[in-house]
Amino acid sequence: MPIELKMPALSPTMEEGTLAKWLVKEGDSVKSGDLLAEIETDKATMEFEAVDEGVISQILVAEGSEGVKVGAVIALIQGEDEAAPAPAKAAPKAEAAPAKAEEKPAEKPKAEAPAAAPAPAKAAEPAPKAAPASNDRVKASPLAKRLASAQGIDLAQVTGSGPGGRVVKADLDSASKGASAAPVAAASSAPAVAPAPVVANDDIPHEVVKLSNMRKTIARRLTESMQQSPHIFLTVDIQLDALLKLRGQLNASLESRGVKLSVNDLLIKALAVALIEVPECNVSFAGDTLIQYKRADISVAVAIPGGLITPIIKGADTKSVAAIAAEAKDLAQRAKDGKLQPAEYQGGTASISNMGMFGIKQFTAVINPPQAMIMAVGAGEKRPYIVNDALSTATIMSATGSFDHRAIDGAVGAQLMQAFKRLVENPLGMLA
């Protein structure tokens, strides 16, 4: 039987996607790891790779098709273990006439022959057996093996959903979600009350714009966040003058290396260090348990055409601000180009959203589940301010933390805001 190529789940939140472009055509030979198609997910445009060898026998979904459900069959491939037995099947057919004359006992070996054939085929794969108890032994796509190695996942413990039980990337996504899988599943079934349909007023000139997969996902996830996570908001005013001065000095010294720090790069570092100082805020709520993280991975909100994505600066608490600046610039550019890998935007322990470049003085942000806090940063502006017990003018920024009150009490959230303010106003402390 031909192998069915199904629409993959390229992110945990993906329910359907757009088959943007086929990179192969019917009759093409493919092998494991070859790129088959470009698929627009709810987050980005991703490349879909083959997990088996064979020939593309039929393309069932045309490129450009929207709303293709995860799991829908999009193409058929003549598998490697189908191509080899083809001559063998022709041979038994030629012998079928004499076999029939000798009645049905001769047909039983025929029924057993296909069952016996796969066994030698599997035995003829000595390479996987050479690696003792490693991920190389398990049937998995090359991408799944790379991701499993990077994330420390034992493929032997993962149930494969690909052809022949092969482990594919979507299986790793399910495995890595771990404790948060149950809350997410509950979240997807929670919204029972459907909003009243909005009907356009024909008296007003208008056009109906179809929602992209990304916009649908943003709408669903943020609605769930506000419904299920009781938000508490805490705001502090922070004096930026010392940080701006330090930024200028650092940029002067880093100019020869082609690195230019933004204010946001320093704020990412400050939030990461503050989360390590107040670990009770570096958590996720998981029903009857809390997941407390030992590392600060900061998701940075980046506006892209059609929506928002949050690439992650992993281990920001231990990275230099120069490294954070280079990584943030690279991630932001690839986010806008739709070229982020799932591991680069899935996860994170807390988020930061900066709208200061738009002149926004203060705002509150919606928590990005399963995280338990997000820092919303406004513009730095000259304001009257008490400096050394005297009224003066200073550059002030308002920052508002949104906290999931199920996991973080107000007093604990206040400690994080206090730590964040202290680190920004005395920035040398976070570089030590």
Fold adopted by 3-122+132-180: OB fold (Dihydrolipoamide Acetyltransferase, E2P) (2.40.50)
pLDDT digit string, tens, across residues 321-330:
999 999 999 9
Q: How far is CA 365 from the centre of its chain?
A: 20
d(CA 232, CA 413): 9
**Any residues with CB less than 8 A from the CB of 432 and at least 6 apart, and which?**
none
For residue 390, is pLDDT > 50? yes
For domain 228-431, the CATH class is alpha beta
d(CA 403, CA 387): 30
Share of the chain above pLDDT 90, in %: 42
Which is catalytic among the residues 381, 405, 412, 425?
A: 405
Domain boundaries, the chain: 3-122+132-180, 228-431
- The one-letter code for the residue type at 211 is L
Which residue reads 């495995």 in tokens?
A: 175
Q: Which residue blocks in 310-425 are alpha helix, DSSP H?
A: 321-336, 410-425
pLDDT bucket at 136, cuts 50 / 70 / 90:
low
Adjacent-strand bridge partners of 58: 76
**What are the two backbone dihedrals, phi and then psi, of residue 210, each rounded to the nearest 5 degrees?**
-70, 135
- pLDDT computed for residue 296 by the predictor: 97
d(CA 147, CA 189): 29
pLDDT bucket at 403, cuts 50 / 70 / 90:
very high
Q: Do 3-122+132-180 and 228-431 share a fold?
A: no
pLDDT digit string, tens, across residues 222-262:
898 999 999 999 999 999 999 999 999 999 999 988 899 99
Torsional sign, CA 7, 11, 14, 18: negative
Which is more confidently placed, 76 or 143? 76
For residue 106, is pLDDT > 60? no
Q: 143 to each of 10, 146, 150, 235, how far by Cα in Å?
A: 12, 5, 11, 43
- Is residue 40 within 8 A of residue 20, CB to CB? The reply is yes
Percentages helix, strand, coil for the chain (3-state, rounded to 5) are 40, 25, 35
pTM score of the predicted model: 0.61
Q: 3-state DSSP call for residue 304?
A: strand
> Across residues 85-89, what is the average pLDDT?
41
pLDDT bucket at 431, cuts 50 / 70 / 90:
confident
DSSP 147-214: HHHHHT--GGGS---SGGG-B-HHHHHHHHHGGGHHHHHHHHH---SPPPPP---TTS---PPPPPHH
- pLDDT computed for residue 217 by the predictor: 80
Beta strands (DSSP E) in 11-155 are 16-22, 29-30, 35-40, 45-49, 54-59, 65-69, 73-79
Share of the chain above pLDDT 70, in %: 76
pLDDT digit string, tens, across residues 158-204:
777 665 677 776 677 666 555 344 444 444 444 445 566 777 778 88
Residue 32: CA atoms inside 13 Å, Cβ hemisphere, count? 15
- pLDDT computed for residue 153 by the predictor: 80
**Any residues with CB less than 8 A from the CB of 105 and at least 6 apart, and which?**
none
User: Mean of the per-residue pLDDT values for the chain?
Assistant: 80
For residue 72, is pLDDT > 70? yes
pLDDT bucket at 44, cuts 50 / 70 / 90:
confident
Residues 152-180 as b or e (16 or more Cβ within 10 Å = b): ebebeebebbbbeebbbbbbbbebbbeeb
> Across residues 151-158, what is the average pLDDT?
75
pLDDT digit string, tens, across residues 342-372:
889 988 999 999 999 999 999 999 999 999 9
Indicate if 206 belongs to the active site: no
Q: How far is CA 199 from the centre of its chain?
A: 34
Torsional sign, CA 208, 21, 47, 135: positive
Q: How far is CA 233 from the centre of its chain?
A: 26
- pLDDT computed for residue 176 by the predictor: 59
- pLDDT computed for residue 234 by the predictor: 98
For residue 123, is pLDDT > 60? no
Q: What tokens does 50 get?
A: 């083959």
Cis peptide before 205 (omega within 30 of 0): no
**What are the two backbone dihedrals, phi and then psi, of residue 369, each rounded to the nearest 5 degrees?**
-65, 150
